[in-house]
Structure 1
């Protein structure tokens, strides 16, 4: 999945000369958490968060505070330079950027121009889509040998039942490089026949590991 498929394109921005008060109003009115700061050529030169603006704003409980702080230009508190991503970057790869850098959002730039923004909330929703948890389905987890051809071999068992697979994930089995965990989400409310087929084929079920097909 590409960044351009999940990014928001209606990005609210401010010029560097905008005031803290303007940024505060923009954040409140639109219930957003970040504002990219752009120059006259729509190039990203900085970014401010709701926390940046809040820290720069005088407390409403302090009558002795100099409220001229609200007239300070936003460029005085913005973070710069800004890490950006490209619309053709893979979502799975920039997830690592979010994790490593602990970012809450990333501007999306093409030809040095701001064209969108992607947030940690967008990333979480995308994870839900990629794992198939947004579709009513049953989850089956298998421990399989880590060797070529294992995935189509297991998937063939699902095909024999004409089961509709909504998503497949693979991840390591603990610290053992000889095995992997395959996670299938299948559009069926009765996975028992599939589970029995997988057991009959010699695969070890991690989940569900306590269900058996009822005797007839």
Structure 2
């Protein structure tokens, strides 16, 4: 899946000369948490978060304080340089950026760093839910298999014989053993017992459900 398939293209942005007060207003009005800062050519030069704005705002306990802090330009508190991504990047790969950089938002840019979209950690979480198939009614099956070429079509052929629709397939490492993998299936049936029994009859080890056939867990 590509970034352009999930990014938001209607992005609220501000110039660096906008005030912190303006940013605060937009954050509340649009219920967003980040605002990219762009120059006159729409090139991304910074980003501010609701936390940046909150930290720069005067305390409600300082009764004598004037709100002049809110009149400062947004460029005085924006973060830079900004990590950006391209519309043709793979969603699975940018998930790693969110994790490693511990950030909550990524502006999407094209040629010359021009802003064309934005992706938030919430967008990423929703996409991961879709990719794993957990957003639809389905049954979950985990199979431990040897790590060798051709093993995936061998296992999926068992589902095919039952004419069972596979919603998603994930492949995980099996602990620290490189000789095995875990295949995680979500199948479109509320009665997976026939397929489960077929997998056991074919000699595959099921990690989920891992109860003895015919017993209730």
Q: Same fold (TM over 0.5)?
A: yes
Separation in structure 2 between the aligned mates of residue 144 and residue 80 of structure 1, nearest angstrom: 46
Within 5 A, what are the aligned runs for 1:53-202? 53-111=53-111, 112-202=113-203
- Would you say how many aligned residue pairs link Structure 1 and Structure 2? 214
Moved over 4 A (4+): none
| Structure 2 residue matching 1:32: 3-state secondary structure | coil
Deviation of residue 175 (structure 1)?
0.5
Separation in structure 1 between the aligned mates of residue 32 and residue 61 of structure 2, nearest angstrom: 24
Query: Against the structure 1 CA distance between its residues 4 and 211, is the aligned structure 2 distance closer, same or farther, given a 3 Å change threshold?
Result: farther
Separation in structure 1 between the aligned mates of residue 210 and residue 194 of structure 2, nearest angstrom: 14
Deviation digits for residues 59-96 of structure 1 (CA, Å, limit 9, x no counterpart) = 12211223210100000000011110000000000100
| Structure 2 residue matching 1:151: 3-state secondary structure | helix
Deviation digits for residues 96-136 of structure 1 (CA, Å, limit 9, x no counterpart) = 00000001000000012100000000000010011000111
Deviation of residue 213 (structure 1)?
4.3
| Structure 1 residue matching 2:169: 3-state secondary structure | strand
- Structure 2 portions without partners, runs of 5+: none
1:42 maps to: 42
- Structure 1 portions without partners, runs of 5+: none
| Structure 2 residue matching 1:184: 3-state secondary structure | strand
Deviation digits for residues 112-168 of structure 1 (CA, Å, limit 9, x no counterpart) = 210000000000001001100011100000000001100000000000000000000
What is the TM-score when the length of structure 2 is the normalising length?
0.97
CA-based RMSD:
0.9
